[in-house]
Structure 1
Amino acid sequence: MNGLGAAAEQRAADFIVAQGLKLITRNWRCRFGEIDLIAKDGKTLIFIEVRSRSSPNFGGAASSIQRSKQEKLIRTAQLYLQTLSPLPPCRFDAICIDGDDLVWLKDCIQAN
């Protein structure tokens, strides 16, 4: 990960902790991919994708989470969930950083 990506992840981690979430782990990897941040909001487990762009030009950070990336995140989260018992309620969030602007998109990816 480059310096800008690491800085964006750190900013996102600091932000969610300031919002009252408990950070469980960062950069959880498996054969399907990586989840940037995993946190808990009460009893809900949250898988968080962090996206950063220097500016909102060309669609910005949120538009960069294509369907193929969403599917990879879902498969990765399913593998992570196999390590837990009982299964907690879950959701997928994204923290999108465009320049200085940070937007927290809650429950933005659906695992039909």
Structure 2
Amino acid sequence: MRLFKGSSGTVGSQMEAAAARYLQRAGLTLLERNYRSSHGEIDLIARESDTVVFVEVRFRRKSQFGGAAASVDSRKQAKLLATASRYLQQHKLDCPCRFDVLAIDGDAQNVQWIKSAFEA
């Protein structure tokens, strides 16, 4: 990945697009981007074999406050769990699922893919 410049919204969209490409190169099939419900938003939803993977993409230019991965706190996890539950109900899916974090720090060369970052 390379560093993107622009407003924070633009950078966020660019990072999510880069993260989607990263996951697709790793063999995942992208199902949805920016899925929204009344509970919140999930950046990327993908499939890996028979598992639905809910991915939170986090980017931090500076890691002075713990970095990108550390920013997925218990409140954010609760929102992701509720939103994922809504997605599974809406799509009538009864399959294994996983919650991953794709953390991008600094100059966007430091990508950390945390599989099963937390559980339901």
Same fold, judged at TM 0.5 (above): yes
Instruction: Provide Cα deviations, 1:48-94, integer angstroms capped at 9, x if missing partner.
Output: 00000012222100111110000000000001110233411101000
Counterpart of 1:94 in structure 2 is: 101
Alignment of 1:42 onto 2:49: yes
Counterpart of 1:107 in structure 2 is: 116
Cα distance in 2, alignment partners of residues 59 and 86 from structure 1: 35
Alignment of 1:54 onto 2:61: yes
Structure 1 counterpart of 2:25, which letter?
A
Identity of aligned residues (%): 44
SS in 2 for 1:2: helix
Cα distance in 2, alignment partners of residues 72 and 3 from structure 1: 23
Cα distance in 1, alignment partners of residues 117 and 32 from structure 2: 20
In the alignment, structure 2 segments of 5+ residues that lack a partner are 1-7
In the alignment, structure 1 segments of 5+ residues that lack a partner are none
TM-score (norm 1): 0.94
Structure 2 counterpart of 1:81, which letter?
L
1:74 pairs, out of 67, 73, 81, with 81
